[in-house]
Amino acid sequence: GMGGVGKTTLARAVFHSAAGHFDTSCFLANVRENAMKHGLVHLQQTLLAEIFRENNIRLTSVEQGISLIKKRLHRKRLLLVLDDVCELDDLRALVGSPDWFGPGRKVIITTR
């Protein structure tokens, strides 16, 4: 939808009300802007750090990030919000395909 109509506000409200019902949760804000400024590897590191509460996750490539996300999140009941996704490559690097996550997962994506 158009900018300023409340997509992020609504996604944040859903996230805060539902996060307690999952094994883990993560709200990645401003995906488009952060991907342009810092790159996809940074976003993948942020996602993993938030979910596992580990600040020492270091990735050397998007491919390594894809492998680690797929492997470590496969059995997690996860609530993930990706806010302001613009590029399909960004989405693929962060959530890949439905088989990356275990049963009971929810992924919410806001986009223009």
Task: Tell whether 88 is covered by a domain.
Answer: yes
Res. 1: pLDDT tops 70: no
Res. 101: pLDDT tops 80: no
Task: Say how far apart CA 84 and CA 4 lie, in whole Å.
Answer: 11
pLDDT tens sequence across 6-54: 899 999 999 999 999 998 899 999 999 999 999 999 999 999 999 888 8
Number of domains in the chain: 1
Element (H, E) at 68: helix 62-73
Which residue range forms the structural domain that includes residue 96? 23-111
The arithmetic mean of pLDDT across residues 88-103, rounded, is 85
Output the pTM of the full model: 0.89
- Tally Cβ neighbours within 10 Å of residue 5: 10
Task: Tell whether 3 is covered by a domain.
Answer: no
Task: Say how far apart CA 85 and CA 8 lie, in whole Å.
Answer: 11
Q: 9 in helix, strand or coil?
A: helix
Which range has highest mean pLDDT (40-49, 52-61, 92-101)? Answer: 40-49
Task: Tell whether 66 is covered by a domain.
Answer: yes
| Orientation angle between helical segments 88-95 and 31-38, nearest 10 degrees | 90
CATH value at residue 104: 3.40.50.300
Quote the pLDDT of residue 85.
95
Task: Tell whether 52 is covered by a domain.
Answer: yes
Task: Tell whether 107 is covered by a domain.
Answer: yes
pLDDT tens sequence across 60-89: 999 999 999 988 888 788 899 999 999 999
**Sequence-ordered list of residues with C-beta below 8 angstroms from that of 32, at least 6 positions apart, any chain:** 84, 85, 86, 87, 90
Task: Tell whether 13 is covered by a domain.
Answer: no
Task: Tell whether 81 is covered by a domain.
Answer: yes
Task: Tell whether 39 is covered by a domain.
Answer: yes
Helix, strand and coil percent figures for the chain, each rounded to 5: 55, 10, 35
Whose structure tokens read 């810092």? 38
